[in-house]
Amino acid sequence: MLTPSAVRNAKPKAKAYKLTDGRGMYLLVKPDGARWWRFDYRRPVIAKRNTLSLGTYPDVSLKKARVRREEARALLTDGIDPGDQRKAKAEAEADTFEAIAREWHAKHAPNWSADHADRIMTRLEKDVFPWIGRKPIANLTAPDVLGILRRVDARGARDTAHRVHQHCGQVFRYAVATGRASIDPTPALRGAIPPTRTKHHASITDPDRVGELLRAIDGYQGSNVTRAALQLAPLAFVRPGELRQAEWSEFDLDKAEWRIPAERMKMNAPHIVPLAGQAVAILRDLAPLTGSGRYLFPGLRTRARPMSENTVNAALRRMGFDRDTMTGHGFRSMASTLLNEQGWHRDAIERQLAHAERDAVRAAYNYAEHLPERRKMMQAWADYLDSLRLSPGKVVPIKRKA
């Protein structure tokens, strides 16, 4: 039998060799210095010789290796092959809901924005994995998933419950496609959770009120960086996350153009934002403050990260616009509503909003062909916003597309 000191002092040689402990167990010492615990046994029924790994030293001590050996011998006494049992356990663990969900997420994440991918995984980790993550996906039923959805809905997060339902269905369908499950039980749950009441982002679209908002932004008494973000928001009307994470490397002020890379866009496609002269002026004024760093709008605590997602909304509240009146996302609705009312081409507006196109050919057409029109539209829009800053009754109508 081996002793702990004999195991500890085992030195590598030119060829691998064994140090026997008895009852089928030995320490295999390899030329590279690795030391493996092994257990040789005869398989039940067919009496074929087989070897089972018990782990590596020093992670597995001599005492622990002996415990594992005796566990394996006990299985053999009951007619169970310990190697087959380990393989079955590994396969079962590989086919759990969590393992397959993470595999599905890893395959699709490259096609999503980083924020979107993070949101999906956060929902799964918070609301799904703790309850069914370790269960074999093939054994899960509709009631198992319904229990999760009801738990989420009970805390007042009905929209999240519907999204979790959608994510679970995608994971189940992936499992079916890869042969690890036979059915997707989630369609049976349609209607089990009441529908979510549609809640639109609060937005100001009345021209007089828009003018009031713009004047309030110009007079904002907080951070100069925050004021610049507020001033750029209506001119670019990008999503709040795209605005606050804007990087100087994405801008060409001489060409009056902002090119947002695909990985930062919700639909994972690059987006061009033509910049009106007013937007370029704002950015040139901002450059001395933040131009030496990465972000246009760095955080207050560290310039290594962008401003908080709450900064713009907090500034709006400070100026007297509550969450039922105006939000950072509301600048998009403002632009969409007024530009459509003024008669601009719907496709140009949708392209500028970076909304997804179901038809790939149509999407390519919009991306390439509407850029000149979008440049014209964005400058006319900026001029229109300037006119709204005047007192009511002096608004200059936006120039429609020729």
Residues with a catalytic annotation lie at: 239, 266, 329, 332, 355, 365
Question: What per-residue string of b and e applies to 221-231 under the rule 16 or more CB within 10 Å gives b?
Answer: eeeebbbbbbb
Distance between CA atoms of residues 144 and 239, nearest Å: 36
Which residues lie closer than 8 Å to 45 by C-beta, 6 or more apart?
79
Residue position matching structure tokens 């105006």: 326
Nearest Cα neighbor of 100 from 146, 126, 133 is: 133
- What single letter denotes the amino acid at residue 119? R
Count the residues in the chain.
Answer: 402
Residue position matching structure tokens 């916003």: 385
CB-hemisphere CA count at 13 Å for 169? 13
Distance between CA atoms of residues 173 and 183, nearest Å: 8
Nearest-10 Cα torsion for 215, 218, 223, 227: 90
**CA 170 to centroid of chain Cα atoms:** 15
- Residue 19 tokens read as 């140090």
Sign of CA dihedral 287, 253, 227, 241: negative
